[in-house]
Chain A
């Protein structure tokens, strides 16, 4: 089983390793020339500035919202909680498109692009990554610890800041770093809004004459940047999990602060954020989509792209799940060093920029397996790399819920180990595997950069069609694709939100 697990991890991470191998093709001096060029410096400062500003804004908005929703007695708390989490369902490039098309309605003839535009658009879709973990962590701080602090002579406000918020801090930090990773990796929004960042430069190096050295060098920088942030994020997430291990204990309601005269301004601000994130792009999408579907032939075109999206998403999700299941059983059953290292390795690819993996798979296709280049199989390989961590989480949880004792019981009843696995463990894991499959599928449908780089010529999905039409500034033609993408992405987002609401009860 260990060999199988190593093999599946190896397949999934192949593109990542390949990129590193190819990077060594070039003399270090040439490589460093690109990394430390004036252009790189410009890209780096834009990317980092965007990341810093968006992450900062997300922290302020996310934490503020989370406090309002979990620890005050404002009216319509739960409604606000759901509405504030909903932007999770909007892919960044769809939001960018929504804002651009709204700009066309309000100020026709002007452009909506650049740093400020990207900041606004990306912030509105990324802040839920802070809001959700912050709200969950604030809810988790049980009354027992707050009561202990009160019994130790601290007043309610003091308790809130020295006990409650302090414990949510690692979860909030981890959420902020996740935001940073998403901003660094984002390709769709920055390219629609024409902001030159690392990801856009990597894509350009691919599409304009294929400057390999440039692409590889910039990808390496992007990779290192992402991994550093990921490592730091992992530390904070583990701290947060450790805090949760000391049970909340006790009974009684959580402490709620009464914010009195601040209620009205806080509510206004919170709903303004929700309005900006949802209503602005939503209205524009609805308007243009109505105009779009009224053109002849458009419905057939949308349906075709939808079919293609479902097809590659199902393939990608199927392959990823196939790789994830043996790996998850191995990780769940063996506490060995190898199992733990494999788990770590698999999560390495978590939220890596799609452009980097896309580029690597393109090179792999051209140089190693030209027969597969421009087929869906390479696209599926890229999806496996990008989505493995996503499928692995639910699968490991499922494998943990199917204890080996049950398989042993089946063995004791005279079944072979394969029969025991197929008839006991696999059925028990089925719901977890299924939800992982669905999650990967819906995420693949949203994926843009790797799909753009690897799709067979003439093969269009919802995401690539939207991107092409946006490039041509055909707003009406693009809008129906955007609407469909939002609706599909809303499913996993809704699952996440409803889990949060259940936790609150």
Chain B
């Protein structure tokens, strides 16, 4: 028996907010359908935490509305909203045991050992954790307890504020998977705030990119990654190769040859976006000639900075399972797949 929540569709309409003269959010409109997870991703200072605090009810927006299941909750205080909150460092109460933390938010009738153990089980912790103190847990365990505590009330929506950023790489991955699994199994609407684009792309059903307080783009992770709204978004979401090009009839002419486009672009000069893994390294003689300026070996992949022969342009290439390239080596470069063109 797992806690299942009812509905939980979130809609933000024209939300703006300023601290003094500094406007942190500009007219943000965003919809999170019930039962889905949405990641708000943006660099630090982009206003994503303010947005989360507005949804939680800790911050009153200057303008705009917050709707949960079509009810306007903009003015409703935090404790009367049906939300769950998992903060960056868990926000566990140090004066209560794990069990005490979990039952803290439960309705009076539900504060039983069984219910606590159920919730612990939901986040893959054994019942004996109930008697432990928060400072005896690892970072990942603290986050899972925080999640169990938040889920205990069967909230309509759960808010995750950089919940994995304090964990080291391996633990982050595992905790993220665990949280994702729990959220899917309970069908809880989730809103995740993160500065880590990989996390956003892998965690959520949809991703919203926030930059300088404005929502740049929102959609499915694969759509956002393959068709970013602008170059800034493209560069934020992953390593980008940007080349000068001339667009005509659905393809772009650039220093690496002719690349078919996946977006509509008017005939004329444009910036062409490729990803480093789209540029294949071949023997010299096939494709365009390039000179290796710098190479890095990461084990599972290698990257290299290559100057295109006879041009000023440099591109970064990434190969999986390849031998490291030698600096000063001459190689061939070929583009695979399609690119995206951004007219000036």
Contact = CB atoms under 8 A, between A and B. Distances in A.
A245 B94 contact: yes
Contacts of A246: 89-90, 92, 94, 134-135, 142
Interface of B: 49, 53, 56-59, 77-81, 83-85, 87-95, 104-105, 133-135, 142, 146, 149-150, 152-153, 159, 161
A250 B149 CA distance: 17
Nearest to B84: A151
A147 B85 contact: yes
A344 interface: no
A249 interface: yes
Nearest to A143: B58
B79 A154 contact: yes
A340 interface: no
A249 B87 contact: yes
A150 B87 contact: no
A431 interface: no
B93 A147 contact: no
B45 to A, nearest CB: 12
Contacts of B81: 151
**Nearest 4 interchain pairs by C-beta:** A152-B105, A151-B85, A144-B91, A243-B94
Contacts of A250: 87-89, 91, 161
A152 B142 CA distance: 17
B167 to A, nearest CB: 14
A144 B153 contact: no
Contacts of A505: none
B105 A153 contact: yes
A416 B295 CA distance: 42
A147 B56 contact: yes
Contacts of A150: 57-58, 77-79
Interface string A131-153: 00000000000001101111111
Contacts, number: 93
Interface residues of A, number: 29
Interface of A: 144-145, 147-156, 159, 162-163, 166-167, 169-170, 242-247, 249-252
B194 to A, nearest CB: 15
A145 B79 contact: no
B79 A169 contact: no
A147 B79 contact: no
A150 B93 CA distance: 13
B77 to A, nearest CB: 8
Contact of B95 (A147, A243, A245, A251): A243
B94 A167 contact: yes
B85 A148 contact: yes
Nearest to A255: B58
A468 B82 CA distance: 70
A440 B276 CA distance: 64
A247 B159 CA distance: 19
B92 A147 contact: no
B78 A249 contact: no
Question: Which among A154, A166, A246, A247 has the highest number of chain B CB atoms within 10 Å?
Answer: A246
A250 to B, nearest CB: 5
Nearest to A251: B49
Contact of A144 (B59, B88, B105, B152): B88
A145 B135 contact: no
